[in-house]
Amino acid sequence: MPKSKDPNLHHVSVQAAPVVLHKDIKEKISEIRVKRDALMIAHNKVNLEQDKYNKAIICLSLFAAFFESTKAQLNLSTRNDWLSPITIFMPIFLSTLLSIISSLMKFKKFNERIDLLSKATEKSNATVLNLRRLEEGLNFQSYMQSYKDYGGPVTESYRDALDCYERALYPQEHDKYLKEAIKIAKNTKKYENQNEKELDRFLHSKCYPNNIQLDSPDIECSPNEIIKDEIKSDNIKININEEEKEKSIMIKTETEEINDKEKEIKKEPKKVTEMSNNMNELYKKFEKESEDKQKLTP
């Protein structure tokens, strides 16, 4: 090994901790989901604030149009009382209010912030999709392919998502929106755990024993049977309509008749053989009697 000329490099360690892909992917998915929720909360707040300004502009513009039309119809500007100066002053006042609100909207840069936040949420969604795709493919592809995917497009999209998240929010907004997003993530996790327990009970209930296909035909189940899951059985309960019951009864009767006919047909050759055996025995007896008679005659 060639020695380095710089002695300070000998104090640098480049040994990184080992990465367990399944664990690391799960951690990154939860991180990106929380940050995506924070971005969506911020996007909602900006939208609500922009809606307030838009509602104010709409109301003022409608009120100004209403005031102008009433002034023209009633000729309020030509009166000699106190209404005449008010009718002259009100349009000027409303137009200035509208210009102030529109300039404040431009000053706050709502559209630019909304574009940044929407782009950051799209990046986060794409990153979560790539991570989930890689997590699902860990057991179905080679480990070299998993390493390549993890070190290539997945890591690049993860970096882009973090970069967009940091540029979309102000520093004082990170803690504020992250706290709300973490609360939402905790609530969703509790809800998912409850749903998983109910789903496990449903899959191991009497309706779907031994994990059969959920889209099997003619399998119906009442909610009381799902709740009362204490007794386990290997039989599937099938609820059949009245028409299907009638059909099944007709099929059963037809099959029983066919079976009876087959049994009768099977019995007929046995009867014939019995009759033939009886006739042979009688014939033998008759021959013996005739022979005996002939011997007795002198």
Cα 82 to chain centroid distance, Å, stands at 67
Residue 298 domain-assigned (yes or no): no
Residue 281 domain-assigned (yes or no): no
Is the C-alpha dihedral spanning 240, 241, 242, 247 positive or negative? Answer: negative
Give the residue numbers spanning the domain of 122: 26-203
Q: How many domains does the chain have?
A: 1
Residue 89 domain-assigned (yes or no): yes
Mind listing the pLDDT tens digit for each residue in 37-77?
999 999 999 999 999 999 999 999 998 888 888 888 877 77
Residue 263 domain-assigned (yes or no): no
Mind listing the pLDDT tens digit for each residue in 76-135?
777 777 777 888 888 888 889 999 998 888 888 898 999 999 999 999 999 999 999 999
Q: Please state the φ and ψ torsions of residue 297, each to the nearest 5 degrees.
A: -70, 135
Mind listing the pLDDT tens digit for each residue in 245-279?
555 666 656 666 666 666 665 555 555 566 666 66
Q: Residues with Cβ < 8 Å from 114, sequence gap 6 or more? A: 43, 46, 47, 50
Residue 292 domain-assigned (yes or no): no
